[in-house]
C-alpha cells in the first residue's frame, strides 16, 4: 500500500481542519468511503458531518469540504477525490486512514468490496488493478478473504444456484436474471441427478458439469467476455465473527438496499461503523430481491435506451438500475437513467453529471437526497 501516493490536497485538508463536511455521490464506493473516513476521524476527535446535499457547496463555498466523486465548486477549501485505475475511493480513503492512524480490518474489507463494485477485480489477470491488490493480499494472509474460481452470482453458496442465477444483476444474465424457470432448467440440464433447488454449486472445477454450466451461461450472455464478468469471487469472513459471506452477494445486497428508500444511501454510510449491519442488509435484501429483480430485468432494455422504468412500488431510487447498466457498460450515452416516481420521473445527481449537465446547475436543482426531477 505504501507505494501509492496519498492525495496531498486531501491529506492537507484533513490535517488542517478539525471540522468539515463530507459530501459523496450515491455510488456505493463513495458511500462506503464516507463511512470509513467518518469512523476514523470521529474516533480521533474530528467534528465531521455527512450530507448528500450538494447545494451546500454553492451556499457555503468557503467552508471546508471533502467531495467523493463529485466536482468541487470552489478551489478554496473543497477537495475532491475520485475513483480511478489506481483504486476505488474507498481504497484511497483507507490508505489515508492507514497513514494517519492505522486502519481496521473491516474498513479494508470494504475497500476490496468497493474495488469489486468498480470492476477493478479481474480473476483471469490475477487480482485487482491498483491499491486494492495490496489490501487484498494483506487480508488473504489474515484469512479474512479467500479468492475462489467461482461464479460471481448472488448467493449460490448461501441459498442455491437457481436462486443465485435468478437474482444476479451485476452482471445481469440475459434471459436468466429474473426468470426462475429458465434458471431452474439450466441447473436441471447440468445437474441431472439432483434436485435443482438443492444445488449450491458456486466454484468452477473444470469438470464436465462446470463446462456444461459455463456453456449454458455463454448461450444466454452471447459472448465469452460477458461470461468472464461472471467468473472470480471471494469469500469474506467478518472480523468479529465466524460468518463467511460471498463478496458478490454482499455487493448485490448493498446496491439493492440503497435503492429501497430515499434515505437509504445515508444508512449505507453506517455500514463501515458496524460490520453487523451487513447481516441486517442481507436480511432486508432477501425479502425484496425476488420481486425486485423481475421488475428490473423485465425493463432493462427500456433503461438502456434512456426510457424511465416503473418500479411497481418496490424501490424509490434509481441507483440499482444505474449500477446494473454501468456494470455491463450499457448506460445510455446522452440520457440519464431514470425511474417513474409519482407523476414524473427522477434520476440521480451522478447521472446528470455523467451526461454533461453543468454541476452547479445540478447541485442547485436536485433534492438534498441527490434525487433529481426530470422535465
Grid cell 489474515 — which residue? Answer: 142
The pLDDT assigned to 239 comes to: 80
Q: Given pLDDT bands bounded at 50, 70 and 90, which one contains residue 261?
A: very high
Higher per-residue pLDDT: 125 or 121? 121
Q: DSSP string covering 102-139, please?
A: ---HHHHHHHHHHHHHTT-EETTTTEESSHHHHHHHHH
Q: How far is CA 148 from CA 104, 181, 200, 211, in A?
A: 24, 28, 15, 17
Q: Give how far Cα 292 sits from Cα of 43, 162, 168, 246, 321, Å.
A: 38, 16, 11, 20, 11
User: Residue 69's pLDDT band (boundaries 50, 70, 90)?
Assistant: very high
Q: What is the pLDDT of residues 27-37, one digit of tens each?
A: 999 999 999 99
Band (342; pLDDT cuts 50, 70, 90): confident
75 pLDDT above the threshold of 90: no
Report whether pLDDT(1) > 80: no
For 288-317, write each residue's pLDDT tens digit: 999 999 999 999 999 999 999 999 999 999
Q: What percent of the chain has pLDDT over 70?
A: 98
Q: For the chain, give every domain's residue range.
A: 8-150+230-374, 153-228
Inform me whether the pLDDT recorded for 130 exceeds 50: yes
Q: Residue 5: its pLDDT value, please?
A: 46
pLDDT category of residue 343 using cuts at 50, 70 and 90: confident
Please provide the DSSP assignment of 89-112 as one string: HHHHHHHHHHHHT---HHHHHHHH
Contacts of 145 (CB under 8 A, 6+ apart): 109, 112, 136, 139, 234, 235, 236, 237, 247
Enter the C-alpha cell of residue 213: 454450466
Cell numbers standing for residue 159: 441459498
Say how far apart CA 154 and CA 52 lie, in whole Å: 29
Per-residue pLDDT tens digits for 217-249:
999 998 888 888 899 999 999 887 678 899 999
pLDDT at 4: 44
Which backbone phi and psi does 237 adopt, to 5 degrees?
-105, 115
User: Looking at residue 228, what is its pLDDT?
Assistant: 86
Tens-place pLDDT, residues 147-160: 999 999 999 999 99
User: In terms of Cα–Cα distance, which of 128, 121, 113, 115 is closest to 88?
Assistant: 115
What is the CATH topology of the domain spanning 8-150+230-374? inorganic pyrophosphatase (n-terminal core) (3.90.1640)
pLDDT of residue 125: 84
Q: What is the pLDDT confidence band of residue 374, given thresholds at 50, 70 and 90?
A: very high
Q: Regarding beta strands 371-374 and 344-348, do their DSSP bridges make them parallel or antiparallel, or are they unpaired?
A: antiparallel
The helices-and-strands tally (H runs, E runs) of the chain is 16, 13
Three-class HEC string of 270-283:
CHHHCCHHHHHHHH
Task: Specify the 3-state DSSP secondary structure of 155.
Answer: coil
Within 10 Å of residue 365's Cβ, how many Cβ atoms? 14
Amino acid at each position: 500500500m505504501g507505494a501509492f501516493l496519498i492525495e496531498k490536497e486531501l491529506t492537507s485538508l484533513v490535517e488542517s481542519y478539525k471540522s468539515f463536511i463530507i459530501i459523496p455521490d450515491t455510488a456505493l464506493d463513495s458511500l462506503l468511503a464516507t463511512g470509513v473516513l467518518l469512523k476514523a476521524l470521529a474516533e480521533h476527535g474530528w467534528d465531521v458531518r455527512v450530507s448528500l446535499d450538494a447545494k451546500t457547496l454553492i451556499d457555503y463555498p468557503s467552508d471546508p469540504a471533502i467531495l467523493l466523486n463529485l466536482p468541487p465548486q470552489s478551489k478554496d477549501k473543497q477537495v475532491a477525490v475520485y475513483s480511478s485505475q489506481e483504486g476505488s475511493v474507498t481504497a484511497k480513503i483507507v490508505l489515508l486512514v492507514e497513514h494517519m492512524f492505522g486502519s481496521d480490518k473491516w474498513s479494508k474489507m470494504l475497500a476490496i468490496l468497493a474495488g469489486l463494485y468498480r470492476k477493478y477485480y479481474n480473476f483471469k489477470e490475477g487480482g485487482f488493478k491498483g491499491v486494492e491488490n495490496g489490501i487484498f493480499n494483506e487480508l488473504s494472509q489474515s484469512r479474512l478473504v479467500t479468492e475462489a474460481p467461482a461464479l460471481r452470482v448472488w448467493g449460490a453458496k448461501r441459498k442455491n444456484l437457481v436462486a443465485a442465477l435468478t437474482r444476479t444483476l451485476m452482471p445481469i444474465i440475459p434471459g436468466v436474471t429474473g426468470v426462475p424457470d429458465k434458471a431452474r432448467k439450466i441447473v436441471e440440464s447440468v445437474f441431472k441427478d439432483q434436485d435443482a433447488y438443492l444445488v449450491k454449486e458456486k466454484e468452477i472445477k473444470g469438470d464436465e458439469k462446470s463446462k456444461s454450466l459455463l456453456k449454458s451461461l455463454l448461450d444466454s450472455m452471447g459472448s465469452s467476455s460477458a461470461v468472464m464478468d461472471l467468473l472470480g469471487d471471494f469469500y469474506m469472513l467478518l472480523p468479529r465473527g465466524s460468518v463467511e459471506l460471498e463478496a458478490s452477494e454482499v455487493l448485490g445486497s448493498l446496491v439493492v438496499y440503497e435503492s429501497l428508500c430515499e434515505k437509504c444511501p445515508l444508512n449505507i454510510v453506517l455500514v463501515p461503523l458496524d460490520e453487523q449491519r451487513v447481516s441486517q442488509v442481507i436480511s432486508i435484501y432477501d425479502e425484496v430481491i425476488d420481486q425486485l429483480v423481475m421488475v428490473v430485468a423485465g425493463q432493462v432494455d427500456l433503461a438502456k435506451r434512456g426510457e424511465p422504468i416503473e418500479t411497481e412500488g418496490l424501490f424509490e431510487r434509481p441507483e440499482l438500475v444505474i449500477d446494473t447498466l454501468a456494470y455491463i457498460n450499457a448506460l445510455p450515452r446522452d440520457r440519464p437513467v431514470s425511474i417513474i416516481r409519482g407523476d414524473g420521473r427522477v434520476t440521480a445527481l451522478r447521472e446528470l453529471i455523467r451526461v454533461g449537465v453543468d454541476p452547479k446547475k445540478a447541485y442547485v436543482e436536485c433534492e438534498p437526497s441527490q434525487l433529481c426531477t426530470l422535465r
